[in-house]
Structure 1
Amino acid sequence: MNEKFYELPPEKQQRIINAGLEVFGAHDYPQASTDDITAKAEISKGLLFYYFKNKKEFYLFLFDYCCEFFRSQVVTEDFIKITDFFDLMEYAARIKYSVILQYPYMMNFVMKAYYSRREEVSEAMKTRIASPLGEIYTVYFKNIDFSRFKPNVDPQQLLQMLTWMAEGYIQDKLRQSETLNIDELMQDFHSWQEMFRKIAYKEEDDENDDEG
C-alpha cells in the first residue's frame, strides 16, 4: 500500500474507506466495481490505484482496517477488568454490534470477506482468518477466571460455538435483508449465554449467582 494514503486528510481517507466498504459489502468481489467505488469516494480511478496497487490490495486493506477498528473499540479499561467468561463475551458482543449500527457497510463487507470462496481474494482471506480465534482467546481472555468451568468443558470450544451462533444469526438476518436490531440480537445472545453458563460452570457457581 502507498503510504501516501495516510498523508491524506482524515475526512478523505474515511470517504475512500466507506466507499470501498459499501461497494464490496453490496457485491461479491468479482462484481464489485472500482468505478462505483471511486464515484462514491469522489476520486479518480487512477488516484485509487496510486494509493493501492490494485483492487485486491484495496480489498485486503479494508479487511485489515475493519479488524483493527473492531479491536480498538472492544479493548478498553472496562474490558480488561472483566474476569467472567460470559460477561466478557456479552460485553464484546454489545460493543461489536453497536459498531455495526454506526457502520452498517462494515458488517456487510466483513461477512462477505469472511465467507469468500473461489474468488481472487479467497486464498489471502484464508490466511487472515486461519488463526484469529486462537489469538483472540490468548490475548483477550488472559484475565478470565477459568476455575469456574467444569473439568470436562473446554472454554475455547465454547468460544467457537458462541462465535458460530452469532455469525450464523447475523448472516441469516442479512440474507433475509433484515435490519439488524441491536436490542433483539443482544437479548438472544444473552439467552444463549445463560444456557451455556448453566452447562459449563460448576454447580457452586450457580449457587453463588443465586445468592448474589
Structure 2
Amino acid sequence: MNEKFYELPAEKQQRIINAGLEVFGAYDYPQASTDDIAAKAGISKGLLFYYFKNKKEFYLFLFDYCCNFFHQQICTENFIQITDFFDLMEYAARIKYSLILQYPHFMNFVMKAYYSRREEVSEAMKERIGSTIGEIYTVYFKNIDFSRFKEEVDPQKLLNMLTWMAEGYIQDKLRQSETLNIDELMQDFHDWQKMFRKIAYKEVSDETHSQS
C-alpha cells in the first residue's frame, strides 16, 4: 500500500474504507466493482489504485483493518480482568453485535472474506484467518482459567462451536430481514452460555461459577 493513503484527511480515509467494505460486503470478490468503490468514495478509480496497487491489495488491507479495529474494541481494561471462558465469550459477543448495528458493512465484509473460496484472494485469506484464529486463542484467552474445564472438553473446539452458532444465528436473522435487537441477541447467547457451561465445566466449578 502507498503510504500516501495515511497522509489523507481522516474523513477521506474513512470514506474510501467504508466504500470498500460496502461493495466487497455486498458482492463476492470477482463481482465486486472497483468502479463502484471509487464512485461511492468520491474519488477516481485511478486514485484508488494510486493508494492501493490493485483490487487484491485493497481487499487484504480492508481485512487487516477490520481485524485491528475489532482488536481495539475488545482489548479494554474490562477484557484484561476476565478470567472465565464463558464470560469472555459473552463480552466479545456483545461487542460484535454492537458493531453489527453500528457498522453493518463491516460485518458483511468480514463474513464474506472469512468464507472466501476459490477466489483470487482465497489463499491469502486462508493464511490470514489461520493466523488470526491462533492469535485469538493465545492473546484473547491468555488470562482464562482453563482448570475449570472437564478433562474431555477441548476449549478451542468449544470456541469454534460457539462462534459458528453465533455467526449462523446472525446470518439467519439477516436473511429473514429482521432488525437485529442486541438485547434479544444477548439473551439468546446468554442462554447458550448457561447450557454449555453445565456441559463443559467440572461439577464443583458449576456450583462456584454458575450464572443466573
> Residue deviations 1:119-169, cap 9 Å, x none?
111111111112422221111111111121112211111111111111222
What are the equivalent positions in structure 2 for 1:86-101 lying under 5 Å apart? 86-101=86-101
Task: Tell me if structure 2 keeps the 8 A contact 1:114–1:129.
Answer: yes
Within 1, Cα distance between the matches of 2:77 and 2:2? 34
What value does the CA root-mean-square deviation take over the aligned residues? 1.6
Q: Which runs of 5+ in 1 are unaligned?
A: none
Task: Tell me if structure 1 keeps the 8 A contact 2:194–2:211.
Answer: no
Is residue 34 of structure 2 the alignment partner of residue 22 of structure 1? no
Deviation at 1:73, TM superposition (A): 0.3
- SS class of match (2:152): coil
Within 1, Cα distance between the matches of 2:98 and 2:15? 21
Residue of structure 2 equivalent to 1:155: 155
Query: What is the one-letter code of the residue matched to 1:184?
Result: E
Within 1, Cα distance between the matches of 2:157 and 2:22? 33
Residue of structure 1 equivalent to 2:52: 52
Deviation at 1:27, TM superposition (A): 1.1
Query: What is the one-letter code of the residue matched to 1:114?
Result: Y
Query: What is the one-letter code of the residue matched to 1:193?
Result: Q
Is residue 77 of structure 2 the alignment partner of residue 77 of structure 1? yes
Deviation at 1:117, TM superposition (A): 1.3
Is residue 104 of structure 2 the alignment partner of residue 104 of structure 1? yes
Deviation at 1:101, TM superposition (A): 1.0
Residue of structure 1 equivalent to 2:184: 184
Deviation at 1:174, TM superposition (A): 3.1
Within 1, Cα distance between the matches of 2:137 and 2:209? 25
Residue of structure 1 equivalent to 2:61: 61
Task: Tell me if structure 2 keeps the 8 A contact 1:149–1:200.
Answer: yes
Within 2, Cα distance between the matches of 1:210 and 1:166? 21
Q: Which runs of 5+ in 2 are unaligned?
A: none
- Share of identical aligned residues, percent? 85
Residue of structure 1 equivalent to 2:143: 143
Within 1, Cα distance between the matches of 2:210 and 2:107? 37
Task: Tell me if structure 2 keeps the 8 A contact 1:2–1:51.
Answer: yes
Q: Which deviates further from its counterpart, 25-34 or 15-24?
A: 25-34
Within 2, Cα distance between the matches of 1:4 and 1:101? 31
CA change 1:138–1:209 in 2 (3 A) is closer
Within 2, Cα distance between the matches of 1:210 and 1:51? 52
Within 2, Cα distance between the matches of 1:79 and 1:148? 19
TM-score of the two chains, using structure 1 as the length reference: 0.94
> Residue deviations 1:80-127, cap 9 Å, x none?
001111001100110121111111100011111111112111111111
Is residue 185 of structure 2 the alignment partner of residue 205 of structure 1? no
